[in-house]
Amino acid sequence: MFMAGMTLAAHLAAGLNLFALSPLLPLAIDDYGISHGAAGMLVSLPMLVGAAIALPGGKVIARLGVKRSYMLAWIALALLALAPIAPNFYVLLILRLTYGVGLALVVVATGPLVMQWFRPKEMLVINSLNTALMSGGIAASTAGAVPLADLLGWKMTLTAFSALGILGAIIWPLAPRDRNVGEERPGISVRELVSVLRMRAVTLLVVADAGIFIQYTALTTWLPAFLEEVRGIPLEHAGYITSILPFVGIFAVLAGGAVPLLFETFRTRLAVFGAAGNLVFSYRGILVSSGILAILGGLGAFLFAGQPGIYVSVIVLGIGSWFYVPALLTIPMRLSGATPERVAAVWGSYMTFSGMGMFIFPILVGWLYDSLGSYYPGFIICAVASWALLIAGILLPRDAGSTVSDT
């Protein structure tokens, strides 16, 4: 129970500061006198740092062990509490970069931790709960950032969202030692890493996740400012609308974990649907349905002028952007020859390629706004990227995309 509670808390702590700055960007722009493009770096640069260390992070974690890696992650997440004493934009950016290191370590180390401490039937559940808690942290921070900033100031708000990181850094040393700690864990070789990433299922999943999070990060970063400047919605209300994305994601992730279990429970009855059932009632079906919802919701979030259409679109986008995640995390654990090191490599590749997209595209949206005076060109480019999930679901190999009896 201790390990379950701590990994859930780590994902909540990571989620609380992932997009907490997004609704506060107009305040940061005014306070520091920076451009929209520079402000976007506060959200996107941590993703680049995470991307840079995530892929080799699997080898580092194999050397250090999960416990020490998680300790470093907790410390990195806690350091953002120093935001109020950051005298300028660059110091705050360094603190955000440190947060990116912690985020990457949590993401990459969790795969081996789950394989060490949980039975196969529990893996899908814990993956769902971890993602739900991260989504819940995002929802709480994006909805509460502006009201808290009115009370505490926008920098102190970041400290408040870092409190759980401080608590985790204090408690984590009580965690038990890694299992199989006496075994030699050389990590995954470069040749083996390349071989894993060239697997068709892994390649499709990596590209799909990157495409979805390119759109999700761009909209989460700039939708509050877009709604305020273009739609005339007050900033606090715009932040609330944006917070619906991760709030809906909590339930979408839990559903994404429960649905495959239901597929497996009723596998015999669902067999009557034949080949069509093999697509619909499977991980492939989850990816396809999630992709369709992400495409429709992403477009509607910035194309609808009226608030009813915006609300519906944001809800649909939130479902599509999170429903597939438990499948994304669990499929690598079910592939032939799966080991903790290989799973860490695959999860690290998710963080690397998604992080690169999450770094580039919010800056691109801000740069295009500064150059063209419009958010639409950047939003449309990001919407195109979201098609990757639908395509991956269609092309995913059947053996990787089906649910199995040991889940």
pLDDT digits (tens, 9 = 90+) for 330-351: 888 877 777 777 887 888 888 8
Q: Indicate the pLDDT class of residue 379, thresholds 50, 70 and 90.
A: very high
pLDDT at res. 216? 92
Q: Which residue has the tokens 């509050």?
A: 224
What is the DSSP code string of 175-237?
SPPPTTTTS------HHHHHHHHTSHHHHHHHHHHHHHHHHHHHHHHHHHHHHHHTS---HHH
| 54 vs 395, residue with greater confidence | 395
Q: What's the CA gap between 203 and 189, in Å, rounded?
A: 18
Q: What's the alpha-carbon Rg for the chain, to the nearest Å? A: 20
Is 407 a member of any domain? no
Is 260 a member of any domain? yes
* Range of weakest confidence among 186-190, 202-206, 255-259, 403-407: 403-407
Q: Indicate the pLDDT class of residue 205, thresholds 50, 70 and 90.
A: very high
Is 178 a member of any domain? no
Q: What's the CA gap between 108 and 111, in Å, rounded?
A: 6
pLDDT at res. 46? 85
Is 181 a member of any domain? no
pTM recorded for the entire structure: 0.76
Q: What percent of the chain has pLDDT over 90?
A: 41
**Residue 405: is its pLDDT beyond 50?**
no
| 128 vs 404, residue with greater confidence | 128
Q: What percent of the chain has pLDDT over 70?
A: 90
CATH code of 8's domain: 1.20.1250.20
pLDDT digits (tens, 9 = 90+) for 214-240: 999 899 888 988 999 999 998 888 888
Is 115 a member of any domain? yes
Is 58 a member of any domain? yes
Task: Please answer whether residues 50 and 58 qualify as being in contact, where contact means their C-beta atoms are separated by less than 8 angstroms.
Answer: no
In three-state secondary structure terms, 41 is helix
Q: Indicate the pLDDT class of residue 187, thresholds 50, 70 and 90.
A: low
Q: Which residue has the tokens 């499929």?
A: 331
Q: What's the CA gap between 94 and 83, in Å, rounded?
A: 10
Q: What's the CA gap between 13 and 3, in Å, rounded?
A: 15
Q: What's the CA gap between 298 and 315, in Å, rounded?
A: 10
Q: Indicate the pLDDT class of residue 243, thresholds 50, 70 and 90.
A: confident
The pLDDT mean for the chain works out to: 85
Task: Please answer whether residues 389 and 87 qualify as being in contact, where contact means their C-beta atoms are separated by less than 8 angstroms.
Answer: no
pLDDT at res. 208? 95
Most confident of 10-24, 56-70, 126-140, 153-167: 153-167
Residues 183-189 have a mean pLDDT of 58
Q: What's the CA gap between 295 and 301, in Å, rounded?
A: 10
pLDDT at res. 59? 72
Kindly tell me the sign of the dihedral angle through the C-alpha atoms of 244, 249, 251, 252. Answer: positive
Query: How many domains does the structure of the chain reveal?
Result: 1
pLDDT at res. 265? 64
pLDDT at res. 221? 84
HSE-up of 79 (CA within 13 Å, CB side)?
20
| 183 vs 315, residue with greater confidence | 315
Backbone angles phi, psi at 182, to 5 degrees: -80, -10
pLDDT at res. 9? 94
Q: Is 170 exposed, middle or buried (0-12, 13-18, 19+ CB in 10 A)?
A: exposed
Is 180 a member of any domain? no
Residues 161-184 have a mean pLDDT of 83
Residues 122-131 have a mean pLDDT of 85
Is 361 a member of any domain? yes
Range of the domain at 8: 2-173+186-401
Residues 260-264 have a mean pLDDT of 71
**Residue 180: is its pLDDT beyond 70?**
no
What is the DSSP code string of 59-125?
HHHHHH-HHHHHHHHHHHHHGGGGGGG--SHHHHHHHHHHHHHHHHHHHHHHHHHHHHHS-HHHHHH
**Residue 278: is its pLDDT beyond 60?**
no
**Residue 407: is its pLDDT beyond 50?**
no
pLDDT at res. 290? 95
Q: Is 375 exposed, middle or buried (0-12, 13-18, 19+ CB in 10 A)?
A: buried
